[in-house]
Chain A
Amino acid sequence: MSAMRVDAKVVMLGKESVGKTSLVERYVHHRFLVGPYQNTIGAAFVAKPIQVGEKVITLGIWDTAGSERYEAMSRIYYRGARAAIVSYDLTDSSSFQRARFWVKELQNCEEHCKIYLCGSKSDLISEDRSLRQIDYHDAQDFADEIGAQHFETSSKTGTNVDELFQKVAEDYNSNAFQEMKPEETSVDLSQKKDSYFYSCCHNN
């Protein structure tokens, strides 16, 4: 039962049916399933190793239950996430409102979580431009405002999917590297400075 070690937790957030599960499915299994009865397949949790330069970063991708009735529970999911992919459906403006809601939630509760705004189902737009309900530049402005990366993806064709997750892994890698630097000089197990090692118990 020794599961794969995971470097970073990535949560999928967004309104039901925007295509969160399809996105994971496409990225991890390189496939896309259509059909009125079957909207999702594949696992709910995936550990995915990604090559970043010399290193391998393993992302733990957390899919969430789609149904609205569990939406309130989603808040429990993003605790401790290092990245959140907040999806909206390019052909559904209400889903963009929902995305704004998730962004606000994350900003309030998870300041260490990097946000990736993802407009999904871009293949539908390519087929018929009139279907677009969210302007690219509006979304980009919003992304800039919140300091997020912005992608438009298609799980059907695979457009931008690998790029999105690659970016997540790269950002994590460079972030983690920065965080580690100051510590590198100070830690040596045999050093016995550490006055705060048992800091909570000093009142003994």
Chain B
Amino acid sequence: MSQRTERRGGIHVDQSDLLCKNGCGYYGNAAWQALCSKCWREEYQKVRHKQIQDDWALAAKLQREEEAAYASSHGSQAQPPPQSTNPQPGHASLGPFSKFEEKKTNEKTRKVTTVKKFFSPSSRSAPKKETQEGKTPSPSLSRRASFDTDQVSKDFMDFLKNLHKPGREIHKQCRAFIVTMSSKKVQDLGADELSECVQDFYQNLSDRLLGHFKGSSESVEQVMDQVEKYIMTRLYKSVFCPETSDDEKKDLATQNRIRALHWVTIEMLCLSFDEEIPEVSENVVKAITDVIEMDSKRVPRDKLSCITRCSKHIFSAIRITKKEPASADDFLPALIYIVLKANPPRLQSNIQYITRFCNPSRLMSGEDGYYFTNLCCAAAFIEKLDAQSLNLSPEEFERYMSGQASPRSSDGVWSSAPPSDPINPVLAQLNTNLEALSGLSTRQEALMEAAQSLQAELLSWPQSVQHEVTGILKKYPLEVPPRHVPAIDDNDDVDNDNLPPPLMPQVFSG
């Protein structure tokens, strides 16, 4: 469940990692925690359910803490804040959402048992976490839910605490929203509708916050960043590349497309990178790493940050090459080049996810938004790229695409230079890793073949054994001799010599 287990850098691959962890025989996928898609869906339903329960438990606990803190810090001011007309300020905001209230009671019954479980000493505990919490070593914190997700909740609560009453209100809205979004009906919605739900939520909440903060959009955005982080960490698994979309198909298409374009060179893109300068190639490698890392983040804003970091490295690479600041004219082709080199995992899914679920103000106007938009352009360019866009003749383009010819190989996107290439140690390392990987995959294939023939053998083994047994049975039919009554008759043909002499009656005199 934790983000950490979702390692993408599959450089070190254990053979057993490649098959579904459940042992169902299909291939697993790191993105599905080493399960196959089917097992993952099943497992995931369970996990999500558990997470909702844990959410409630944690939220309830944090809320108690928070209320206690509020009560103690406000001492005698126990009366409800002036704006509130509800006698129960703690539950005020849930008033209009009676549907949620219902849902909540349903959840509550289950929740109780969960909470109890937390308190029982036998439940698996996470002592590390507790020492970190310091002042509240409550046993309820020893929960099984992922550390990351809990940490996000905790951070969110800590942040909201400083806002006092509005903070509590925000928390409730978010919690209720997450529950709604986790319901079965919502899960069946299309990707665009899911996006609309989240965007509506952002919009309404930020409108209300704008009123609260008297129009200070700075403060509103601060809160909204936290809200996005909290909500999207929770919803990520269910709304990233949802089944109802064709994101996955597009991912595959893009990935194959980028592979097919492995021959595109820096020159064809009219790009100013001099990778022979170590500093430039260093920045290029960093940019590649950053754009690949995007896939491992859950919060749209964190994904955006990866793109921004990637872009800054590109700007550095251009600046060092040209010895002056880069402009938009240099940047886009350079980004295209980096994307071609990185072939970032699930590029389309990530772009879609950010577009759908990022806070729009950040996406639309700010610096992050600019780089993100350029990434969208790069993806679109790669998709539509033809001979003309590379200043090639259609024939040349065809030849490269079909693999009949390749431009000078050292300029290729996948530089085929030997691993010992002294010019660029980092790329050389990449190459070595790639070779190791392809070696592994060859071995894996061999292993699969062996396993399959073993399986075939195993399947045919009982048959051949049976065959043999039948043969033997035919050869030596088991003849049951006519039933004879043993022992009583002393004239039996049994060899009596081996038997002890029969007991003879003895006469005792006297």
- A residues whose Cβ falls under 8 Å from a Cβ of B: 1, 3-9, 21, 38-45, 47, 60, 62-67, 69-70, 72-73, 76-77, 79-80, 82, 180, 183-184, 186-201, 203-204
Contacts and interface: CB of A to CB of B under 8 A. Distances in A.
B183 A204 contact: yes
A193 B96 contact: yes
A77 B378 CA distance: 12
Given A41-B324, A42-B327, A80-B363, 6 more contacts: A21-B329, A41-B325, A69-B388, A183-B210, A200-B193, A201-B183
Interface string B206-220: 011111100101100
Contacts of A196: 200, 204
Contacts of B349: none
B373 interface: yes
A39 to B, nearest CB: 8
A139 to B, nearest CB: 25
A157 to B, nearest CB: 21
Which are the 4 A-B pairs with shortest beta-carbon distances? A187-B211, A44-B328, A189-B212, A80-B364
Contacts of A191: 83, 208
A198 B328 contact: no
A204 to B, nearest CB: 6
B228 interface: no
B474 interface: no
B177 A198 contact: yes
Interface in B88-109: 92-93, 95-97, 99, 103
Contacts of B368: 3
Contacts of B370: 44-45, 60, 62
B506 to A, nearest CB: 99
B196 interface: yes
Contact of A60 (B99, B365, B374): B365
A25 B197 CA distance: 41
A190 B221 contact: no
B361 to A, nearest CB: 8
A204 B328 contact: no
A193 B96 CA distance: 7
Contact of B365 (A7, A76, A192, A198): A7
23 contacts: A5-B218, A9-B365, A9-B369, A41-B324, A42-B325, A44-B326, A45-B367, A47-B367, A62-B370, A73-B381, A76-B373, A77-B373, A79-B364, A80-B363, A188-B208, A189-B169, A189-B170, A190-B84, A191-B208, A194-B208, A201-B180, A201-B185, A204-B99
A199 B196 CA distance: 10
A188 B96 CA distance: 16
B183 A189 contact: no
Given A65-B332, A76-B376, A187 B207 contact: yes
B377 A76 contact: yes
B313 to A, nearest CB: 13
Interface in B182-232: 183, 185-186, 189, 193, 196-197, 200-201, 204, 207-212, 215, 217-218, 221
B221 A5 contact: yes
Given A73-B332, A73-B380, A198-B201, A204 B180 contact: yes
Interface string B104-135: 00000000000000000000000000000000
A52 B459 CA distance: 82
B308 interface: yes
B82 to A, nearest CB: 9
Contacts of B96: 192-195, 197
B257 interface: no
A76 B92 CA distance: 44
Contact of A192 (B95, B215, B270, B325): B95
Given A43-B327, A66-B329, A9 B207 contact: no
A67 B366 contact: no
B366 A188 contact: no
Contacts of B315: 43
Contacts of B270: 67
A77 B365 CA distance: 11
A192 B92 CA distance: 8
A199 B200 contact: yes
Contacts of A40: 327-329
A4 B83 CA distance: 35
Nearest to A66: B329
Contact of A190 (B81, B193, B373): B81
B290 to A, nearest CB: 11
Contacts of B218: 5
Nearest to A9: B365
Contacts of B331: 44, 65
Contacts of A72: 380, 384
B233 interface: no
Of B99, B215, B270, B369, the most chain A CB neighbours within 10 A belong to B369
Contact of B377 (A77, A180, A193, A195): A77
Contacts of A188: 83, 208, 211-212
Given A73-B380, A73-B381, A76-B380, A190 B83 contact: yes
A65 B328 contact: yes
Contacts of A63: 327-328
B439 interface: no
